[in-house]
Chains A and B, each alone.
Chain A
Amino acid sequence: MRMKEEHTKDHAALAEDFNQDEPRVNWHDETLWFIREKRDRAAFAIPDWELLRETASQIKFHTLSNLSQYLQQFEANAQANGMTVHWAADAQEHNQIVHSILQQHGVTQMVKSKSMLTEECHLNDYLEQQGLEVIDSDLGERIVQLAKEPPSHIVLPCIHLKKEEIGNIFHQHLGTEAGLSDPQILTETARQHLRETFLTRKAALTGVNFAIAETGEFVVCTNEGNADMGAHLADVHIASMGIEKLIPRRSDLGVFLRLLTRSATGQPITTYSSHFKKPRPGHELHLILVDNGRSVQLGREDFRNSLKCIRCGACMNTCPVYRRSGGHSYQSAVAGPIGSILAPNLDMKKHADLPFASTLCGSCSNVCPVKIDIHTQLYKWRQVIVKEGYADPKKAIGMKAMNLVLSSPNTFKLSGKAGRWFMKTVPFLVSNQMNPWYKQREMPQPPKESFGEWYRKNRPQHD
């Protein structure tokens, strides 16, 4: 099982566990900050960067506003090209469609390139339960698959692992020498191992980065060429895409390709941006259009824009909380700021902690290549989660008590001399060893008088 379904700790508790090893937190933070800086250099090399972001945002807005029309156009064109198009309402239906295609071809082993959608649908677990074997061909994904962990980042799935740990995993599973951690040797080992997989698999599944309505083709972006290796060597190519991956025209694609990898890793473009339009003679090309909550999100006016996401991961790299809590603390296929506004739509109760795992600093919205107002949506999800009753009841009582005092000037003034009421009531300022504020921080020292008291003495004319 790759995904642990039990969900006993929330983000804060898992983040606290992660912070037990401070040097490791520093390493994780610095590794991701390095990528944020690479993104900055790539963005600043394009004078029209902000215009590019705005253009991408508008194209996505237009597409989402006319989604049903573009989906139908895409389906008709894809079918005319010779693709078989499937529609899946949810994760289960998606997984069943994949399974049935594999069954029809008598395939029991499949190779799969990176697809966050299949992580969201827990496809690997499902197929393994049906007795099928899936091998992830993206190097990072293969590493976490061998380690029996979910990816911790949508672009850099094993960013939480050090090369020594990867060496151990390869030693256990791929027979490399114990203690070996040279990245070049490890990569070559993975290459040989995956080559055998590519050559022997009759079915390959890929994700989809962009689907073009006017041509019925789709585009898959990888740095390793693993999607191409899988798709070109297999008899059956299955591509899974969320319905929000559409763009209207092929001429729109350049806007997104310029933004995607600069935002993700600071590269100008992915090594491979492969267009798939029709099956080769004698082969099959299946495309699965997956909803899985996207229509519901489209109907939520405050959160609709989250569907613009092109899965670059820039918001994770810049997020000061993500960098110091690690991707696994989010317990969602898509972690970080964008995951925190997507996940509550899928399961509000399970992911009620995520919109609160943020300081609302706003850096995520600024790096987002399609200008999703991520931090504003985090704020709005908090309101929804409280209204729907998923907040801690103790917190609700405290908030009501706070409101009573703060909305009444006389109570506020009578509640004590400087600092006294705050010391007792405001949750972050309760001065005792049990309070989380005090664990690693000192309390402010209450002054001899409040500003209000000073003012009455020193500016009596206004009293």
Chain B
Amino acid sequence: MTVGLFIPCYVDQFYPNAAIATLELLEKAGVKVVYPQRQTCCGQPMANSGFEHLTKDCNELFVQNFAQFDYIVSPSGSCVLHIKDHLHSEKHEDQAQGIRGKVYELVEFLTDVVKVEKLTARFPHKVGLHQSCHGQRGLGLAQMSELVAPAFSKPEQLLSMVQDLELISLSRKDECCGFGGTFCVAEEAVSVKMGKDRVADHLQHQAEVITGADMSCLMHLEGILRRQKSNVKVMHIAEILNAQEG
């Protein structure tokens, strides 16, 4: 099995460590991974702003880059959801359809396809899990608090395999952080207030690190934490699952 590694544009540019951890985790799981170097962006920033009609070129490029792989894996629930819901191709719709069916967010790929049962990671810290909405409500990475249905959480399933990690509980376990793509600048006041409230929930429960499966939400929370001069860090879940802290 060969996996095409899809690294969101802003992760490539700002959070290479999250991408490196993703690559190494997949390699440790025995998966052959290729990173197509001509990739750029899934087109979501434009589409969510109402400009889906401008994403045709991004879509064609995505199809060219990824159609050949058995699976496509990405450390971002949001970008994966966008591809799953909105990737189309005028030239190769069959390939686009294939991609929509074989694109996975990293956590669900590890739990559902690779079926990881143990990890060698150690991370002796109090960790708060931020459930990003697109991963959780869109891809179903964890049960949603609104639904009367049995509880489960794929990210928690993996975090529980990390030695010495203490997962904290939150008052509002799946409230949105307010990033929301261009929402974070178009609706700056509400976006920041939502972010501050999420951060406060983690801090009240003594988190040392806030993690999640979407770096964009974490980037927003990190911006608020650093403005508050907090020592609390954000880390992509791949970095924790791949951690080798002594």
Contact = CB atoms under 8 A, between A and B. Distances in A.
A, B from the same assembly: yes
Interface stretch (A86-94, A188-196, A224-232, A414-422): A414-422
Q: Which label, helix, strand, loop or mixed, suits the secondary structure of the B interface? A: helix
A459 B224 contact: no
A25 B200 CA distance: 15
Interface stretch (A67-75, A272-280, A445-453): A445-453
A342 to B, nearest CB: 18
Nearest to B216: A428
A455 interface: yes
A447 B16 CA distance: 8
Q: How large is the interface on A (under 10, 10 to 19, 20 to 34, 35 or more residues)?
A: 35 or more
Contacts of A318: 146
B180 A16 contact: no
Given A451-B20, A455-B37, A320 B194 contact: yes
Contacts of A412: 9, 40-41
B12 interface: yes
B61 A360 contact: no
B52 A383 contact: yes
B173 to A, nearest CB: 12
B192 A359 contact: no
Given A400-B54, A443-B223, A455-B37, A324 B10 contact: no
Given A359-B178, A361-B176, A428-B184, A440 B227 contact: yes
Interface in A327-373: 355-363, 365-367
Contacts of A7: none
A116 B199 CA distance: 37
A440 B192 contact: yes
B180 A358 contact: yes
A320 B227 CA distance: 22
Contact of B190 (A321, A396, A406, A459): A321
B16 A454 contact: yes
Contacts of B190: 12, 15, 19, 321, 324-325, 357
Contacts of A324: 190, 193-194, 197
B39 interface: yes
A421 B100 CA distance: 29
Contacts of B195: 441
B172 interface: yes
B148 A441 contact: no
B223 A437 contact: yes
Contact of B61 (A325, A395, A407): A407
A435 B185 CA distance: 8
Interface string B165-209: 000000010111011111111111111111111000000000000
A406 B51 contact: no
B152 interface: no
B35 A459 contact: yes
A33 B171 CA distance: 11
Of listed B40, B55, B57, B178, residue having the most chain A CB within 10 A:
B40
A377 B47 CA distance: 13
A382 interface: yes
A325 B187 CA distance: 10
Interface string A213-254: 000000000000000000000000000000000000000000
B226 A358 contact: no
Nearest to A463: B37
Interface string A379-411: 100110111000100011001101101111100
A180 B114 CA distance: 65
Interface residues of B, number: 77
Contacts of A396: 51
A409 B58 contact: no
Nearest to A445: B14
B137 A419 contact: no
A40 B145 CA distance: 8
Contacts of A428: 181-182, 184-185
A225 to B, nearest CB: 31
A421 B47 CA distance: 20
Nearest to A400: B54
Contacts of B15: 444, 447
Interface stretch (A42-50, A55-63, A145-153, A304-312): A42-50
Contact of B50 (A46, A391, A407, A450): A391
Given A382-B48, A382-B50, A385-B50, A320 B189 contact: no
B43 interface: yes
Given A418-B13, A451-B11, A406 B186 contact: no
A43 B185 contact: no
A19 B197 CA distance: 13
Given A362-B133, A366-B144, A383-B53, A441 B193 contact: no
11 contacts: A12-B189, A15-B187, A391-B50, A402-B45, A405-B40, A407-B61, A422-B10, A441-B226, A447-B15, A451-B16, A455-B35
Interface of A: 11-12, 15-16, 18-19, 22, 25, 29, 33, 40, 43-44, 46-47, 49-50, 318, 320-321, 324-325, 355-363, 365-367, 379, 382-383, 385-387, 391, 395-396, 399-400, 402-403, 405-409, 412, 418-419, 421-422, 426-429, 435-437, 439-444, 446-447, 449-452, 454-456, 459, 462-463
Interface of B: 7, 9-17, 19-20, 23, 34-35, 37-41, 43, 45-55, 57-58, 60-61, 133-134, 137-138, 144-149, 172, 174-176, 178-197, 219-220, 222-224, 226-227
Given A50-B147, A418-B13, A442-B223, 4 more contacts: A406-B41, A409-B61, A436-B186, A456-B37
